[in-house]
Amino acid sequence: MSKKTILVTGGVGFIGNCFCKLLLRERPNWKVVNVDSCTYAANMNTIKSELENKNYVFYKADIRDRKAIFDIFSKERPDIVVNFAAESHVDRSIENPAIFLETNILGTQILMDASLSIGVSRFHQVSTDEVYGDLPLDRPDLFFHEDTPIHTSSPYSTSKASADLLVLAYFRTYKLPVTISRCSNNYGPYQFPEKLIPLMIHNAIHNEKLPVYGDGLNVRDWLYVEDHCRGILDILDKGQVGEIYNIGGHNERNNLYIVKTILKALGKPESLIYFVNDRKGHDRRYAIDPEKAMKELNWAPTTSFEDGIINTIQWYKDNMWWVEDCLNKNK
């Protein structure tokens, strides 16, 4: 594999950091440039080992800052750009939509403008299955496909769908070589403890109540984070420019099942569960059909949910200091 420079935005975050770790392991002759604004969800301890790697460079910069982004692109001249940078917490998007629109849409535009200015060979946009809306619980035969119409429910998913459309417009209008991936719910190490699995693990370990929205029967397709990152690397290697690829785990579980699994693994009572008012516009079921990625890229998830959730719980048990560090930083 020839030497390349790859610029990763949001590389201090959960999925972006996992992708950087994967690159440094499996593409040791590549230079990895991480650009992250370090919002509330960032913890610099996440990239402590990466900062010691001679092939890794970190810039603290906001993708909404056109001058800063253009300066970085001009200096580093990346061959490939992978955009993980995003505001991603649905609850926060309901409370304050503006920052989601600014970062997820306008920030993506600035990255693409910078990419055009130096002629990158690939711009990859990391999106979400939430752009498709939701599916009914009583139709387990239905799945999201790449041509499923966009039908968003929250300001977050709308901002990501808007960015996807903008990416495809840049492909058609400016011939920017783009690809898009839409993934299902990720889980694994280093996920900020506002998301379901790390929050529930943290609360259970501390014998605190575990809040569950509504009836807890909302279904998500769970994907181990490294499987997702390998899918993105496969898209960069073998994906067709201008195409969208769904990356899903075929691991559908409802939220209540997830919470009970965590409690059982930690030896905690189900009496810690309590139900709270449902989220506004809460999607009932997400389910991705990843057949296109499997056929065209020879990609498939390798981590079963049963193994992945145990590995994840153990990681948080062993690294609760990291979780507390995240929480203390945001007090």
Positions marked catalytic: 129-130, 156
Angstrom distances, CA of residue 8 to CA of 63, 163, 168, 259:
11, 17, 19, 32
| Contact between residue 131 and residue 157 where contact means Cβ atoms under 8 Å apart | yes
| Contact between residue 113 and residue 83 where contact means Cβ atoms under 8 Å apart | no
C-alpha Rg value of the chain to the nearest Å? 19
Tokens 């649905």 correspond to 90
| Contact between residue 259 and residue 210 where contact means Cβ atoms under 8 Å apart | yes
> What DSSP state is assigned to residue 47?
G
Residue 261's closest CA among 222, 226, 310? Answer: 310
| Contact between residue 145 and residue 289 where contact means Cβ atoms under 8 Å apart | yes
Which helix (H) or strand (E) segment is 276 a member of?
A: strand 273-276
CA atoms within 13 A on the CB side of 16: 34
Residue 143's closest CA among 134, 153, 156? Answer: 134
Collapsed DSSP state (helix, strand, coil) of residue 7:
strand
Alpha helices per DSSP H over the chain = 14-26, 66-76, 90-95, 97-101, 107-118, 155-174, 196-205, 225-238, 255-266, 291-297, 305-318, 320-329
